Amino acid sequence: QSVLTQPPSVSGAPGQRVIISCTGSSSNIGAGYDVHWYQQVPGTAPKLLIYGNSNRPSGVPDRFSGSKSGTSASLAITGLQAEDEADYYCQSYDSSLSRGVFGTGTKVTVL
Amino acid sequence: QVQLVQSGAEVKKPGASVKVSCKASGYTFTSYGISWVRQAPGQGLEWMGWISAYNGNTNFAQKLQGRVTMTTDTSTSAAYMELRSLRSDDTAVYYCARDLGSTAGFEPQYYWGQGTLVTVSS
């Protein structure tokens, strides 16, 4: 069982905005550790989408944005496109477990 | 360009061991850590552990302590993950991934290997 909780699924029509939440606790996100986000198309390796809460690696469209507040973080996708259909995972560090942790994952469906 | 190339798929019997390799190229191997992440069929990502390619320091998920070993060979720029006493629930795709940066803190994983399917079945 993961210490970071995400909604199992979110969906939206092309062009819409969707938000994925990542809820943690005082030993991970709430302790000030950075949150990172990954996109995974089934059958392929994950791709780093957002690092350090809100930074995009080179090549990631600015339609993707991240934020963090308190014990939670969010990933927003604006102008949803068919190619955004994938699984998304948040990640942080947990001080009580002394290791990295992933969220439960969220499947994004483009209607 | 940075590449991580993993060894091929493995089929193992319960109780056996498996060793997955991850050959790195395109960067200074000792400047970045390597994480191992696994994904059981239809399940989410599970962070297994991390090794510093600089000094060999490691950090493992507690549930794997005692069963997993992570090593590096700086002469060949390769990382290895060995998992012992395999069980059916170890069946998964195993990924190696390089840290984004080289800070002292927990780094996200930026470059990923293609994954290695390990199947544990009698």
SS (H, E, C) chain B: CCEEEECCCEEECCCCCEEEEEEEECCCHHHCEEEEEEECCCCCEEEEEEEECCCCCEEECHHHCCCEEEEEECCCCEEEEEECCCCHHHCEEEEEEEECCCCCCCCCEEEECCCEEEEECC
Tell whether the model's pLDDT for residue B102 goes beyond 80: no
Tell whether the model's pLDDT for residue B33 goes beyond 80: yes
Rounded to an integer, the average pLDDT of A32-53 is 96
Rounded to an integer, the average pLDDT of B33-60 is 94
pLDDT at B65: 85
Q: How far is A56 from chain B (nearest CA, A)?
A: 11
Is A103 touching B (CB cutoff 8 A)? yes
Subunit contact B44:A103, Cβ cutoff 8 A: yes
Rounded to an integer, the average pLDDT of B75-89 is 97
pLDDT at B101: 83
Q: Which residues of A touch B95 (CB under 8 A)?
A: 45-46
Q: What is the mean pLDDT of chain B?
A: 95
Nearest CB among A33, A98, A103 relative to B59 is that of A98
Tell whether the model's pLDDT for residue A1 goes beyond 70: no
Nearest CB among B46, B109, B113 relative to A48 is that of B109
Subunit contact B45:A47, Cβ cutoff 8 A: no
Tell whether the model's pLDDT for residue B108 goes beyond 90: yes
Rounded to an integer, the average pLDDT of A2-29 is 96
pLDDT digits (tens, 9 = 90+) for A55-88: 999 999 999 999 999 999 999 999 999 999 999 9
Nearest CB among A33, A52, A99 relative to B47 is that of A99
Rounded to an integer, the average pLDDT of A32-49 is 96
